[in-house]
Structure 1
Amino acid sequence: MPFLIKPVLSPGTLARVPQPVIPTGDGLLLRPWRAEDAPALHEIFQDPLIHRWHTRAAHSEEEAGGWIDEWVAAWTEERTAQWAVADAATDRLMGRVGLNGIALDDGVTEVAYWTAPAARGQGVAARATTALARWALDETGFHRLELTHAVANTASCRVATKTGFALEGTKRSAGLHTDGWHDMHLHARVRGD
């Protein structure tokens, strides 16, 4: 049965090109993950605040390396797109930003991020999210970027608001964390915002 509408983005939009390095313009780079990032990724995932808002744990550098392998493969499979956020001058790992649940046909994906403990308070998540949104909406052609976070995660809400993601509502009991179910804020940006 034929579709009446064309896909927003065609299959291969991401996979036919190497994952780009995206500069923020203010000292950070969004770059593809590399195997040598595994020790720093493992160390970051020992942080209690990371455990509070994420559902995965990295028990070893090898496990962190496995995540990196998954993230690299996911680009060519166009399932997710994950970037390491690094200091442009030193390449020190400062955080992560990514697109989850990519739906090319609909031109919709979800933005996610975290910041390394040593980099908090420097606007890393907001700067990286701004650069990623610009790339996804303006350069690549996504139509809609969604962003969800636990209502109790006020720092994440500040990032969403600061980066132009309008609060669209609250999804009741929609996110399961280690301490139980959380109401989740839904924010979004659409092309042209």
Structure 2
Amino acid sequence: MPLLVDPALPEGTLRATHQPHLTANGLTLRPWKPTDAQAVYTAFNCPDIQRWHVRRLDDLAEASEWIDQWASRWTDETAASWAATNSGQVLGQVGLRGISLAEGSASISYWVTPPARGQAIAARAVDALSAWAFHTIGVHRLAIGHSTLNTASCRVAERSGFPLEGTLSQAVKHADGWHDWHLHGRLARPL
């Protein structure tokens, strides 16, 4: 079924290039690599990461599968993920989910390892990724969504210039039941 409007971004916007390394605010965002499996496995053993991301990894093989999926998701132009690092050490993750080239939109996800918390890693990573998405690939809109109980994620969104746009009732299921969902958004060019 044909679209009645031109897509905001052409097919190939991502897959025509290699996933970049982004450097800003004292962080390097880089594509995941196989040697990150232990860091990913350790991160997903954190109860907070499991709670808010609704998944766990049971062994290094699953961590490797989690890493391996990102190359095909970049090629399919549906999602992308970067390791947020400093001096080679993985401090967290930031990524684009639900990429829609037709709409020129995506959602941002992030997590930070327990030892790296309290250093604004997530906010700095979101800032760097947002700048790249808006200015380099030309995304029109980015969103951040999180459980209303996840106050740390709300602070990251607000600190990164994503104002709260609304609350969706019981929109996401976590291990402890249905959660209301905050939706934050930001446009490439504010109205």
TM-score scaled by length of structure 1? 0.96
User: 2:85 aligns to what?
Assistant: 86
Q: 1 CA distance for matches of 2:88 and 2:55?
A: 25
Could you list the runs of 5+ residues in structure 1 that have no partner in the other structure? none
Secondary structure in 1 matching 2:45: coil
Instruction: Give the AA of the match of 1:79.
Output: T
CA RMSD of aligned residues (A): 1.0
> Identity, % of aligned pairs?
48
CA-to-partner distance for each residue in 1:119-165, whole Å, 9 max, x for gaps?
A: 00000000000000001111110111011000010000000000000
Q: Is the aligned partner of 1:153 residue 2:150?
A: yes
Instruction: Give the AA of the match of 2:185.
Output: A
Q: 2 CA distance for matches of 1:104 and 1:187?
A: 20
Q: 2 CA distance for matches of 1:62 and 1:107?
A: 34
Task: State the shift of 1:53 in Å.
Answer: 0.8
Instruction: Give the AA of the match of 1:147.
Output: I
Secondary structure in 1 matching 2:75: helix
CA-to-partner distance for each residue in 1:16-64, whole Å, 9 max, x for gaps?
A: 000000111x221110000000011101111111122111111101100
User: 2:74 aligns to what?
Assistant: 75
Q: 1 CA distance for matches of 2:107 and 2:47?
A: 24
Q: 1 CA distance for matches of 2:71 and 2:176?
A: 30
User: 2:58 aligns to what?
Assistant: 59
Q: 2 CA distance for matches of 1:60 and 1:125?
A: 25
Instruction: Give the AA of the match of 1:110.
Output: S
Task: State the shift of 1:4 in Å.
Answer: 3.4
Task: State the shift of 1:2 in Å.
Answer: 4.8
Q: Is the aligned partner of 1:142 residue 2:135?
A: no
Could you list the runs of 5+ residues in structure 2 that have no partner in the other structure? none
User: 1:186 aligns to what?
Assistant: 183
User: 1:4 aligns to what?
Assistant: 4
Displacement over 3 Å in runs of 4+: 1-4
CA-to-partner distance for each residue in 1:83-138, whole Å, 9 max, x for gaps?
A: 01010xx2100000000011101101100000011100000000000000001111
Instruction: Give the AA of the match of 1:100.
Output: R
User: 2:31 aligns to what?
Assistant: 32
Task: State the shift of 1:186 in Å.
Answer: 0.3
